[in-house]
Amino acid sequence: MTEFINERPIGCILIGGKSSRMGSPKHLLPVKGGRLSWLEHITRILTPFCREIVVAGAGELPPGKWQRLTDAPNCAGPLSGILAVSRYCPTASFLVCACDMPDISTAAVSWLLRQRRAGDWALVPKTNFYQPLFALYSWRMGPVFEAMVRAGKFKIRHICGMEHVRIVQPPSQLVPAWNNINYPHEL
């Protein structure tokens, strides 16, 4: 197990929601003015910072080689994908990004990684609200996630306020990276 503050994390992109608000799978939507899907765009942003990229969740993927993780069983929502990556490599830290955050930026990822400190088990940014779906997690969070599932607590925001989970405030110019898009009119 490597130390959280020096490790290149695994990048995990969460996909597979019901797309009921958007009407189509968000991870396959094209980036503004481009040919890349949101999934491909987020992958390109995360790749320089991560030792590998995995996609957690169900749904069609664009052409290419993708490492897919099946959502953890007996779980619900984004926690099922986060638990899947935690189980995939239980001795690694991981950087999670939901597929509906197409404004993610290299600067935002770099800033988040620079916030790591000894004793941190997780870094959860806070903009207008907690952002655990574009956050950084140490391998130490694996047992915490397992305990949450056993207790039937599937909302990932339950970790905010836990010991060793540090809340960090992004600089105002980086805050748009944590915007998620849920409806067609937000495009």
Whether residue 133 contacts residue 97, with contact meaning beta carbons closer than 8 Å, is answered with: yes
Element (H, E) at 79: helix 78-88
| Strand 10-14 versus strand 94-98 pairing type | parallel
Residue ranges of the domains in the chain? 10-173
What is the third-level CATH fold of 10-173?
Spore Coat Polysaccharide Biosynthesis Protein SpsA; Chain A (3.90.550)
Predicted local confidence at residue 18, as pLDDT = 65
- 3-class SS at 139? helix
Confidence of residue 6 (pLDDT cuts 50, 70, 90): confident
16-44 average pLDDT score: 84
Name which of 30, 15, 16 is nearest 102 in CA terms.
30
Is the pLDDT at 143 greater than 90, yes or no? yes
- pLDDT-derived band at 121 (thresholds 50, 70, 90) equals very high
How many other C-beta atoms can be found within 10 angstroms of the C-beta atom of residue 42? 28
Give the span between the Cα atoms of 28 and 148, in whole angstroms: 30
What is the pTM (predicted TM-score) of this model?
0.94
CB 82 within 8 A of CB 95: no
The per-residue pLDDT for range 33-82, each reduced to its tens digit, is 788 999 999 999 999 999 999 999 998 999 999 999 999 999 999 999 99
What is the pLDDT, as a whole number, of residue 185? 74
Residue 24 has what pLDDT?
Answer: 81
Name the one residue in this structure whose structure tokens are 């990004």: 97
Least confident of 20-24, 76-80, 96-100, 124-128: 20-24
